[in-house]
Amino acid sequence: MVERVPGFAIWLTGLPSSGKTVIAKAMSLRLSKRDIPTQILDSDELRQKLTPRPTYSPEERDWFYEIVTFLAELLTENGVSVLIAATAPHRVYRNAARSRIRRFAEVYVDCPEEVCRKRDPKGLWDQAHKGEIATLPGVGVLYEPPVSPEVHVDTANLSIEEAAQQSLNELEKQGLF
């Protein structure tokens, strides 16, 4: 019997509107050109299906990130490589994924709040600062940046393409793929 080679999971984390999803898409395109197909697990898309009326309560966040981790674990164990674009504001969520997924890396998409606010297509940052949203990571909910991510990209000073390429270069040097 041939042993199945597990896929890898790359969790892109950072404040809302820091560039996680667009970088994941750019990384996915680059990887597909190298014959490495990936599945993107984007938290905004998943929430629309799993919690169409999200409360963002601590209990709901715990449940949601457990499901994201389960999906990534299931996919990678079946040979599918995954890019997770999700804030996951608490380290415990990302650490749980790291402990359960054999080939795992974390990319910290670092971007100051001021830049995130300017990029915010949904106006969430402005709503949070007006008191209309109490659960936005970085305002109403503490965001815990990674302590030792495999990659750290500064999206205030890098383009999407530069951040994607830097991430892939560093992860390849580290032997993730």
Q: How do residues 43-69 score in pLDDT, each as one tens digit?
A: 999 999 999 999 999 999 999 999 999
pLDDT confidence of 2, banded at 50, 70, 90? low
Contact residues for 166 (Cβ-Cβ < 8 A; gap 6+)? 151, 153, 158
DSSP characters over the chain = -PPPPP--EEEEE-STTSSHHHHHHHHHHHHHHTT--EEEEEHHHHHHHH-SS----HHHHHHHHHHHHHHHHHHHHTT-EEEEE----SHHHHHHHHHH-SSEEEEEEE--HHHHHHH-TT-HHHHHHTTS-S--BTTTB-----SS-SEEEETTTS-HHHHHHHHHHHHHHTT--
**Are 173 and 5 in contact, with CB atoms under 8 Å apart?**
no
Neighbours of 17 (CB within 10 A): 23
Q: What is the pLDDT of residue 5?
A: 80
132-155 pLDDT, tens digit each: 999 999 999 999 999 999 999 999
Question: Is it the case that residue 4 has pLDDT exceeding 80?
Answer: no
77-132 pLDDT, tens digit each: 999 999 999 999 999 999 999 999 999 999 999 999 999 999 999 999 999 999 99
Q: What is the set of domains in the chain, with CATH numbers?
A: 9-172 (3.40.50.300)
Q: Which of 165, 36, 170, 42 is nearest to 106 (CA)?
A: 170
d(CA 66, CA 137): 18
Q: What is the pLDDT of residue 1?
A: 65
The reported pTM is 0.96
d(CA 129, CA 131): 5
Q: What is the pLDDT of residue 10?
A: 98
